[in-house]
Amino acid sequence: MYDFDQVQNREGTGCVKWDKQYSFGVKSGLLPFWIADTDFASVPEILDAIKERCNHPLIGYSDYEDDCLSAIQGWYKRRHGWEIPASYMLPGSGVVTSLRFSIQALTDVGDKVLVFSPVYDPFFAIINNTDRTLVDCPLDYIEGKYLMNWERLEEELKAGVKVIILCNPHNPIGRVWTYEELERLAKLCKQYHVYLLSDEIHGDITLYDNQYTTMGKFLEIYDKLIIYTAISKTFNMAGLISSCMMIPDEELKDKIEGALSDAWIFGPNALAFPAITAAYTHGDNWVDGQNAYLTENAETVMKFIDREMPAVKYVKPEGTFLMWLDFNCFHKSSDELTKLMAEKYGVALGNGAHYGKQCDGFMRLNIGTSRSVLLKGLEKLKELYQDLEG
């Protein structure tokens, strides 16, 4: 019903992924598999809702109406089995911004904030740029799968961590944390009185038969947590700069609201509200279709690598539209690989070293594009492989 094969020409839209490739030393022209932005035309009803809002001649300061919150509630109940009381919800202007203000509200300078690398690099920036102390608890990589190192985690918590930032599903390695893993984490947070900030922006993007579990399922165990969601990744609406926080604890919610209003940061922009409402009302089939398409894309990449570039290793993704590739067979740093791929082969991939100290030689491949573009990119990587292996 929806055509994910359609190649979209995004030229002239100010599109960072295709037309603002300055971090690769050019303006445009590289086949892009870097920034976490997909190339699929979004849900028609969302686009219609935005257009309809523009039929009104005024777009002034705006706040959400109840229909927006009930659309989010409906989606979470229907798709993820969690009934969210409206009192928990706090629409925000982006997940990273919300995370940064959460850290500022809940910790003091020097406090320890723990992350599980390899992980989405703005987490490091938020901690470092607010003068908090970064505690990395690297994931173990065992037989092609990343797992929490529970022993190390508990040692770190014993030593006095104030906040954990979790990524579920986990960018860049594509893990969808299981119910059991998350339950264990919730119990540890309770035991050691640690705030848990759970970035669930990729929650709706699950591949194969993997099932995303929201931290909202464990409130009976522990409720000193914040869940961050958005339509940005699921529906490729990141340009609307919108998100939503779920904060069950009233005191915690007051603190976050206080930190945001101190900085004069209020909710999403006026066009985001109709978009959120439409996405969570009409988006089910589209999201299911996108997940099926992304699963096929992941299969395409894995088969291509097995056949054409067997020394390159990959992690089979469970969720997200990001694939984590290990190019250590070439004995080059991620910086070198990034430059070489861009300059000689015309492809832009995410620099793996940005996601953790142990990640040199890795690259992140964004598979959220039409299959024909993906295959063109894989052919370029094959050329690189043949040149370096041969």
Ligand X SMILES: Cc1ncc(COP(=O)(O)O)c(C=O)c1O
| Positions in the binding site for ligand X (CB under 6 A) | 36, 94-96, 120, 167, 171, 199, 201, 230, 232, 238, 243
Q: CB-wise, 230 or 347, nearer to ligand X? A: 230
Q: CB-wise, 320 or 384, nearer to ligand X? A: 320
CB of 266 to ligand X, least distance (A): 15
How far is residue 76's CA from residue 53's CA, in Å, rounded to a whole number? 25
CB of 16 to ligand X, least distance (A): 11
Q: How many residues does the chain have?
A: 390
- Cα angle: 341, vertex 343, 348; to 5 degrees: 45
Q: CB-wise, 174 or 274, nearer to ligand X? A: 174
CB of 92 to ligand X, least distance (A): 8
| 3-state SS string for 16-48 | HHHHCCHHHCCCCCCEEECCCCCCCCCCHHHHH
CB of 201 to ligand X, least distance (A): 4
Q: CB-wise, 120 or 212, nearer to ligand X? A: 120
How far is residue 298's CA from residue 374's CA, in Å, rounded to a whole number? 10
CB of 196 to ligand X, least distance (A): 15
Q: CB-wise, 36 or 207, nearer to ligand X? A: 36
Q: CB-wise, 129 or 191, nearer to ligand X? A: 129
CB of 268 to ligand X, least distance (A): 10
Q: CB-wise, 94 or 274, nearer to ligand X? A: 94
How far is residue 322's CA from residue 222's CA, in Å, rounded to a whole number? 30
CB of 104 to ligand X, least distance (A): 16
